[in-house]
Structure 1
C-alpha cells in the first residue's frame, strides 16, 4: 500500500512536468519521454523550485536581467511503463490492474507479457488506443476508477456484487455465480431501460456507482418513488432571456481544466449543472468518464466550440455563467471560422535548413519569412519525420540532468520527444555555450532535436505559437546556394557572441531590361558578382530557379542554366555568355531584343 501511495504521488507530479533528455556532449537523447497529456496547461518546473526540506545546492543562475526565470525540463522517477520495464511503479500498476480484475499474474514488479495484455484489455474497455503501453492517459484513468466495466464474459467477485445488487433491485433472479452471462446481461439491459439510460448490457463504472449510491430505480418502483435529490438551484437566478436559463448571481469561477480521468468536487458540481441543463443523464459521481465526456462534447457542439470533451475556461463559462447557452434541443450556434495560423515551418533534413513561411494572398504558406541553418538528428538517431502541431509550450532555459546536467536556451516543444532549442550549454550562463555544438550547425549532430543558433532559437520562441505546423522532411534536393547564404559568423569564445555582425549587403536593384553586359566574359560555377544575381532573379521568374538569389553561382544555378539551355536546343554547358543573356531576355519578354548600337 505504501508503494501504491508513493506511485500515486509521483503520478500527480507527472501531470505538471514534462521531460526528455540530451547528452552531455551536446547530442539530444530521447529515451521514453514523459510529457503531460496534450491540452494540459502544466508548466515546466523552475530550476530554483525545491521540495520542502531539500538541502541540495541550488543550480547556478547567471542570466540577463530581462530574461524570464529559468525553467527545468527533467526526467521524473515516474515514467511511461512498457514491456521490459521493472520497478515499484510497475508493481503499483500490476496491483491496480489486479484490483480491477484485469491482471491475474504474480505481483513481480516486472512488465512482461501478462502485464502488457492486461493493459491492452483495460485500454480496449475505455476506448483508448490499444498499445499495451501504460501512458499518462491510461494511468490517469486507471487510478481514478472505482470499478472496471463488466460485460458478457466477465467473472470475479465484482460480478458477484453486481448480481447481488441486481437481485435486491428485482432485476436478476439467477444464481450469484460471479459469471456475467446471458441472464446478467438481460438484467442490466432491463435496468437501463427502466432508468432511461443507454441500453448496452454493459455495467460500466458509472452505472455501478449509480447502483451503489442508491440512485437506480428498482424494477417495481415508479419514477416518483426515487430518492434521487433534485439539483440545488438556490444559488441561481432566472435571467430575462428567451430560454430562461438560470445563472448564478455571482459568476462561478473557473479553477482548472477538467477532462476524462479527472475527479473531485469540481467534476461533481459540473455534472449537476449539466444534468440541470438537460445535457447529462449519468451518475453524479465526481468521476469524469464516458457519459460526462459525451455531455461536454454536446455542450461544445451546440454552442459553437471545438468539440474536444475538455472543460477549459471558455467551456466552463458557457456551462455556468452564460444565460444564453444553447440547450440540447435548440438550433446549434455555427462554429466560428478559426483564425489562420500565421506561419508554417519546414525542417529540411537534407540541407540542414529550417525555413519559416508566411501566408500569401491565396492563404498558402509560400512566402519565406526566415531561413536558418540547423542541426537535426544523426542518421542513427534521426529527427521525427512528419507533420507536428505545436502546442505552445516553451521555456527560456531547460536542463537535461540525465546527461551530465547539460542545458539549452529557448526551448520550443515540437512533440513529446523533440524540440527546437539553442546549441548546448554547460551551465545556466550566457557565456557557457559549447562552441563545438555551435560549429556543428548545418550538420546532423543531435539525437532528434532541432538545434538553431541562439538568435534563431529566440526568434522561434518569440514568434511561433500553438497551432503552427512543423514539417520535418527528408529527401529534398541539395541547395548549396541557400546553405552558402546562411553561413554563421564565428563566435567570440569568451562571450559566445558573434565576433562581428556585418550589416547585410542590400540586394541589387533588379530589372529584366537592365541586362548585364558581359562582353567576352562568361559566368560559370563559383562566379560571384551582380550579374549572377540578375541571372538568378530572371531564371527564378521564368521557373527555372527556386531558391535564394545570392549573387553566387553554385550548383543549383548551374543546373537552372543547363535546363534553360536544353529547353532551347543548346548544348547544356551550364556556362553563360552574352548570347545566352540576350536569349534569356528575349524568352522572358516573348519578343526579340533589339541589338544595342555601340557608341561611336
Structure 2
C-alpha cells in the first residue's frame, strides 16, 4: 500500500514538473518576444532621431544664396522677386513670381527708358542702383489717360476688345492700315477704352508695314536714314518703327505725308504724335497692326 502511494506521489511530481516547465517555457518565449520588440523599437527610434538630427544640421548649415549683381531674362530666385517688388513700387504691374520672364524684361526696359539708361532689360549697375531709390513722379510708370467718348470710339473699342490682344501694360496701340489711323487705348484685355487717335503713313506696296501682334520695344530721340532725320522712334519689331515724318539735318521738313502709304515699312506720324507714343506708351504695351 505504501509502495502504491509513493508511486502516485512520484507521478504527480513528474506531471507537475513537466507542466511547470512548459509554462515557464511559454513565459520565457513571450518575454523574449517583448525584449526583441523593445529592441526593434529602440533601434527605430534611434534611426529616426539620427535622421532628424541630420536634417536639422543640414538646415542649420544651409547658406542663403546672396543677391546677384546682374539679373537678366531666364533668371529665377528671391533676388528676382525683389526686383519685381521694386518695379511695382514704381507703378508697374509685374507678377512677383521670382521668374525673370518677358513681362519683367519689358518692365525693366521701360524703367531704364524713363531713367535715361541703356534699354537692354538687364538689371545691373545704374539700373539696380535706381531701382533701390524711392519712386518720384517724373519716372513713375503711369501717365494720365483721357478717355475719348463718341460713336467712333465705341466702334473701335468693340473691334479691339473682341480681338483679345495681349499687352503687358495698361496700354494698347491699334494701327488700321486701311484707315491709315493709329488708335491708343487704356485699360485691360476685353475692356480697352480709346484715349487718343491720329493719322499715320504706313509702308508702300513694295515695302509694306508688318502685320500682326507685337509689343512696344526700345525707344530713342532720333535716328538718320540717308539724308533724313526721323524723330522720337518707338520699336514695333526689328527695324519696323513708329517715328516722325522726315526732317533734314537742319530741322526743316522734308516729307510730311500722312493719310496714305508712303514709308519704307515704318509707321510715320506727325512729330507731336510720335512724341506722344515715345513719352506715354510704356515698353511692353501691346501693338496690333491690321
Bigger share in strand = 2
Identify which of structures 1 and 2 has the higher relative contact order when contacts are C-alpha pairs closer than 8 Å and 6+ apart: 2
Normalized against structure 2, the TM-score is what? Answer: 0.47
Normalized against structure 1, the TM-score is what? Answer: 0.24
Bigger share in helix = 2
